[in-house]
């Protein structure tokens, strides 16, 4: 997938240049599974959703476009210490 941003997407991209928004998703998971099993599940989700497989880059004249990447969704595994952690 490679395409230039639509008008609304471009507006959000411009806004992000002035007011960057970084976020993280936190999940509480129950059951028995390994970090590797979680990574496999996220790769499957990423495979089924095209926008999780792209990043935005600018071309030679500065126009932003979506470009497909081969990266994985980064995961940081943190074990809970207690119920308040």
pLDDT in tens, 6-24: 999 999 999 999 999 887 7
Bridge partner residues of 68 (DSSP): 54
Q: What is the pLDDT of residues 23-79, one digit of tens each?
A: 777 777 788 888 889 889 889 999 999 888 999 999 999 999 999 988 888 787 777
pLDDT at 38: 86
Rounded to whole angstroms, the Cα distance separating 51 from 11 reads: 17
* Residue 35 parent element (H or E): helix 35-48
For 55, the 3-state DSSP assignment is: strand
Residues 6+ apart with CB under 8 A from 64: 4, 5, 10, 13, 56, 57, 58
Domain ranges across the chain? 1-17+26-85
For 10, the 3-state DSSP assignment is: helix
């Amino acid at each position: 997938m490679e395409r230039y941003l639509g008008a609304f997407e471009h507006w959000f991209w411009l806004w992000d240049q002035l007011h960057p928004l970084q976020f993280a998703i936190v999940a509480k998971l129950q059951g028995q599974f390994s970090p590797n099993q979680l990574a496999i599940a996220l790769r499957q989700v990423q495979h089924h959703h095209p926008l999780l497989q792209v990043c935005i880059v600018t071309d030679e004249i500065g126009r932003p476009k979506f470009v497909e990447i081969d990266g994985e969704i980064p995961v940081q595994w943190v074990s809970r210490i207690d119920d308040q952690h």
